[in-house]
Amino acid sequence: MAVVSQFSTVDNLNKLNATEHQLRAAIAEAELAVSAGIPDAQKALDLANEGLRQVQQLRNVYFPNGTATA
């Protein structure tokens, strides 16, 4: 299997997975804040959702098979 990038390491995959976990927790909290009517909570929710999308995109590019190559 060809290496996608020198950055396709187990350590970087673990960091992406940890970041995704943190973003999902932030999304859950932001959703509660939105439902409670907290000012600017929707902005926080939108930002967290965009961050999650970017992390997932990075994982799809650097880890297309869902695993690290090195």
- Higher model confidence: residue 39 or residue 6? 39
Domain that holds residue 40: 10-62
Residue 46 belongs to some domain of the structure: yes
pLDDT digits (tens, 9 = 90+) for 20-66: 999 999 999 999 999 999 999 999 999 999 999 999 999 999 998 88
Cα 23 from Cα 55, distance rounded (Å): 9
Residue 5 belongs to some domain of the structure: no
Residue 3 belongs to some domain of the structure: no
Distances in Å between the Cα of 67 and the Cα atoms of 15, 32, 55, 63 are 13, 33, 15, 6
Closest CA to 36 of 46, 24, 25, 45: 45
Residue 69 belongs to some domain of the structure: no
DSSP string, 21-67: HHHHHHHHHHHHHHHTT-TTHHHHHHHHHHHHHHHHHHHHHH-TTSS
- Higher model confidence: residue 3 or residue 43? 43
Total count of domains within the chain: 1
Predicted pLDDT at 22: 98
Residue 50 belongs to some domain of the structure: yes
